[in-house]
Amino acid sequence: MTNTGYGGLRFDHRFAALPATFYTAMPAKGMMTKPKLLTANPSVAARIGLDSACFATPEFAEIFAGNAPLPGGKPLAMVYSGHQFGVWAGQLGDGRALLLGQVRDANQQLWDIQLKGSGRTPYSRMGDGRAVLRSCVREYLAGIALEGLGVPTTHALCLIGTGSMVQRETPEPGCVLTRIAPSHIRFGHFEHFAHHGMRNQIPLLLDHVINEYFPGLSYREYLSTLATRTAELIGDWQAIGFAHGVMNTDNMSALGFTIDYGPYGFLDRFDLGFICNHSDHQGRYRFDCQPEIAHWNLLALCTALQSMIPWSESQDILKSFYPTLIARYHSRMMAKLGLPSEASDRTLWQDFLMLLQESQADYTLSLRALAEWLRTQAGKLPFAHAEGAEQWLATYRDVLKGYGTPVQIAEAMDRHNPQYILRNWLAEEVIRALEDHDDPAPLHKLESVLAQPFNDHSDCLPWRAPPPAHYSGLAVSCSS
């Protein structure tokens, strides 16, 4: 049953209808001293049916800081478990997140509205339940950036500065992020029940996920659909040059989109060995390991589902994981080179990437430069000095012949190669403006650039550049 509440939201609390073994019902702690709206996204509000006129009201900041209840909401913290860095970590859960409630949009699609950083829950373990401004800004921007590049992701509704400091390596300004997604259920939700002697809860969870998000599918079809979505998602990440950084099973969406942005990174120079998470000493979540790690995580999910889907059947289902991932990646990479998937085999982009790796060229700028080189038939390419570059360019030109004039190809490339990506140094600039000068203007500007990353944004041209010297080696760790 839906009931209309705050800002026109139409509530339908489906997760709360599950048994108490799935969560702890609780209000937000509500102890933020001076909630202040830093930014809010009207298109995200529209998506969930929230009237964005609310943004300007004092209640909005109070509600989304967790100080006041969301009228019509039904707050709860979810329990889940997971494998972290390849090791069973036991019970985890919403340690600093709180599901305020679920709503239906005009198309009857269900959406979670979730706070992050609103205070301790029974699943906080040693944590303080808080989030810092730096990590909230990064998560807020990442949702916009991935969506701008056509990659499935959670979204952020708003950022509320709390007015209090949070202790990390040093004291940092606190913040509460509100994120939305059809669901925040993770692989780790299934693992939780499988590893804690509650196997009889697994069909309840499967039925919930399937009824709400995959109506009509059998358990096997759900697993197969999730494996396909996950494979396509990782194909997308590899093609846009995105490293998640913490692909633990509790950070893998049961619906197959990007979730839980922590120390993620976008490639500046092309580097298969890119490790974006400073705390990842072994390089488990290195850029080129992401496909294998996603497969490993799916195996952990299959293990948890063994009582419902026999192992031999789930392994049959997973056989299509790598072919699906490679097909997605291939078609994205060919589009980046201005070509349809069937124009060439994978050696075309493989050889291209080797040239970039060898010449340490910037991934994004090299692709834009290649289009410009086609258009003008002049100019020096960033990877031109690498061994084999001339040979590769000759092969590339040959392949292009059947598919349009160089100018037409260049135009097609520009629709698939962004000018702007969410480089760490840009996030850092925006964070410093907020932290040091209380200035949200750069954040607002970067939001609009990342939402339209293929456009010119002539007033932001310096933001296309790789990190300036004083930002090189910027490290991002798990602690946030």
User: In whole angstroms, what separates CA 317 from the centre of its chain?
Assistant: 25
CB nearer to Mg ion: pick between 79 and 426: 79
Which residue in 381, 448, 17, 34 sits closest to 212, CA to CA?
17
**Contact flag: residue 260 with Mg ion (CB under 5 A):** yes
Residue for token pair 């040693």: 126
Q: Does residue 116 contact residue 179 with C-beta atoms inside 8 Å? A: yes
The radius of gyration of the chain's CA atoms, rounded to the nearest angstrom, is: 23
95 binds, among ligand AMP, Mg ion, none (CB under 5 to 8 A by kind): ligand AMP
CB nearer to ligand AMP: pick between 77 and 386: 77
* Least distance to ligand AMP, CB of residue 80, Å: 7
94 binds, among Mg ion, ligand AMP, none (CB under 5 to 8 A by kind): ligand AMP
- With residues binned 3-state (H G I as helix, E B as strand, rest as coil), the percentages for the chain, rounded to 5, are 45, 15, 35
CB nearer to Mg ion: pick between 84 and 364: 84
Q: Return the range that interacts with ligand AMP (CB under 6 A); candidates 54-62, 93-101, 350-358, 403-411.
A: 93-101
* Least distance to ligand AMP, CB of residue 297, Å: 13
Q: Return the range that interacts with ligand AMP (CB under 6 A); candidates 90-98, 177-185, 405-413, 458-466.
A: 90-98
**Contact flag: residue 429 with ligand AMP (CB under 6 A):** no
Q: Return the range that interacts with ligand AMP (CB under 6 A); candidates 128-136, 230-238, 316-324, 402-410.
A: 128-136
Q: Which of 260, 280, 414, 447 binds ligand AMP (CB under 6 A)?
A: 260
Q: How far apart are CA 466 and CA 327, in angstroms?
A: 29
Where helices occur in 37-157 by DSSP H, the ranges are: 42-48, 58-64, 133-148
Q: How far apart are CA 163 and CA 180, in angstroms?
A: 23
* Least distance to ligand AMP, CB of residue 99, Å: 12
Q: Return the range that interacts with Mg ion (CB under 5 A); candidates 155-163, 232-240, 257-265, 469-477.
A: 257-265
Q: How far apart are CA 89 and CA 284, in angstroms?
A: 16
**Contact flag: residue 2 with ligand AMP (CB under 6 A):** no
Q: Does residue 182 contact residue 110 with C-beta atoms inside 8 Å? A: yes
**Contact flag: residue 41 with Mg ion (CB under 5 A):** no
Residue for token pair 């979204």: 155
**Contact flag: residue 251 with ligand AMP (CB under 6 A):** yes
CB nearer to ligand AMP: pick between 205 and 318: 205
The 233-252 contact track toward Mg ion, x by CB under 5 A, reads ------------------x-
250 is an active site residue: yes
**Contact flag: residue 280 with Mg ion (CB under 5 A):** no
**Contact flag: residue 248 with ligand AMP (CB under 6 A):** yes
336 binds, among Mg ion, ligand AMP, none (CB under 5 to 8 A by kind): none
The strand pairing partners of 24, in sequence order, are 77
**Contact flag: residue 119 with ligand AMP (CB under 6 A):** no
Type of residue numbered 130: R
Question: How many residues would you count in the chain?
Answer: 480
Quote the Cα angle for 287-357-321, to 5°.
40
Q: How far apart are CA 452 and CA 80, in angstroms?
A: 35
Catalytic pick from 250, 260, 280, 414? 250
**Contact flag: residue 93 with ligand AMP (CB under 6 A):** yes
Q: Does residue 272 contact residue 357 with C-beta atoms inside 8 Å? A: yes
* Least distance to ligand AMP, CB of residue 453, Å: 26
Three-state secondary structure call for residue 355: helix
User: Would you give the DSSP letter of residue 84?
Assistant: E
Tokens found for residue 372: 């410009």
**Contact flag: residue 243 with ligand AMP (CB under 6 A):** no
Residue for token pair 């390991």: 289
Q: Does residue 422 contact residue 142 with C-beta atoms inside 8 Å? A: yes
Instruction: Return the biggest CA–CA distance within the chain.
Output: 66
**Contact flag: residue 246 with ligand AMP (CB under 6 A):** yes
Active site residues: 250
Contact residues toward Mg ion (CB under 5 A) are 251, 260
Contact residues toward ligand AMP (CB under 6 A) are 92-97, 124, 127-130, 246, 248, 251, 260, 262
